[in-house]
Structure 1
Amino acid sequence: MDVITANHELKAKVSPKRMFEAIVIHGPKLLPKIAPRAIKSIDILQGHGGVGSIRQINFPNGAPFPYIREKVDVVDTENLVFKARAFESRMFADKIEAIHSTQKYEDSGDGGCIVKLTVEIHPKDGAEFNEEDRKVGKAFGREIFSIVEEYLIAHPDVCP
């Protein structure tokens, strides 16, 4: 089956550098603190959190699946690009081999930023996807970015 690609753009009222630092650089500590209903913890299983590291994103009880494991492929602090490859989760079941994601943080020209997200789902042979399968991941991503944006606006001293 062909790779399923989705592109999304999210606008935030904080600078690209602050969003990038909050989500990518400080995310393993910050996200569970500010979004505990969405992310229980982010554990570094191998490496130091940078390129080549393997991390496990744990979700709270009641989430549709307990965790996702991913490998960090790119952390480009100059161009504000983050790439990772999710390779293990109960969510994958018999449908997904891997999910590749790219986040690019760009200046929106008004003091804020546009986060360009590209998600590539690499399905297993014979897997079928419907619109509902796609909406779940999209809604989760929007929720996390919105929580981070609100937190950074309320706390201008964080990731200045």
Structure 2
Amino acid sequence: MFGTLSEEKEVKVPSSKAWELYGTLELGKVVGGKICEAIDVVEGDGGVGTILKLTLKPGSGFTYYNEKFTKVDKENKIKETEVVEGGFLDVGFNLYRIRFEIKDNPNDDVIARSSCLVKTTIEYDVKDEFAANASFATIEPMVALMNVANEHLEKSNN
């Protein structure tokens, strides 16, 4: 069973500034402790192949999962991660991918570029015999992450 969920938010910073956060390990530093208990770098420097361990807060359904950066496209400002251990994989998911895309706001003045759009998409695939567990896939944690990250960006842009 395959599914997708997505959410897009406007942020009052240029897309290049948003990418400096979302496209790097800096995102984990900003949201760690707020969205989850901890985010630790298992290996890597923020490029493709980097693995993070996310220790989740009690009551979130999982204790931890590891995610691997599978795409870091600086030119198009797209970062993708996939769960490679624990979490969703332990409850019958074959795939749990998170994508961040940063785009210039088409409603902005072309010269000023004072805001951008941040879109997060979750793609998942659940084994048929675990179809009931598809309900674990929710956009809400990513919306919470975006709210914390975007608030940080807007405060640091003043």
Q: Give me the TM-score of the superposition, normalised by structure 2.
A: 0.81
**RMSD of equivalent CA atoms:** 2.3
Q: Distance in 2 between matches of 1:130 and 1:60?
A: 20
Q: Distance in 2 between matches of 1:75 and 1:13?
A: 23
Partner of 2:150: 149
Contact residue 15 and residue 117 of structure 2 kept, 8 A: yes
Q: Does 1:66 align with 2:63?
A: yes
Partner of 2:3: 4
Q: Distance in 1 between matches of 2:95 and 2:119?
A: 20
Q: Of residues 109, 113, 117 in structure 1, which corresponds to 2:116?
A: 113
Q: Secondary structure at the match of 1:52?
A: coil
Note the residue ranges of structure 1 that are not aligned, 5 or more in a row. Answer: none
Percent of pairs identical after alignment?
24
1:24-82 deviation line (CA, Å, top 9, x unaligned): 311232222xxx23122222212222111221122234433222211111111221110
Contact residue 103 and residue 116 of structure 1 kept, 8 A: yes
Q: Distance in 2 between matches of 1:70 and 1:146?
A: 21
1:42-121 equivalence runs, <5 A? 42-108=39-105, 109-110=107-108, 111-121=114-124
Contact residue 88 and residue 98 of structure 1 kept, 8 A: no
Contact residue 64 and residue 91 of structure 1 kept, 8 A: no
Q: Secondary structure at the match of 2:48?
A: coil
Q: Give me the TM-score of the superposition, normalised by structure 1.
A: 0.80
Q: Distance in 1 between matches of 2:48 and 2:134?
A: 32
| Structure 1 stretches of 4+ moved >6 Å | none
Note the residue ranges of structure 2 that are not aligned, 5 or more in a row. Answer: 109-113
Contact residue 126 and residue 133 of structure 2 kept, 8 A: no
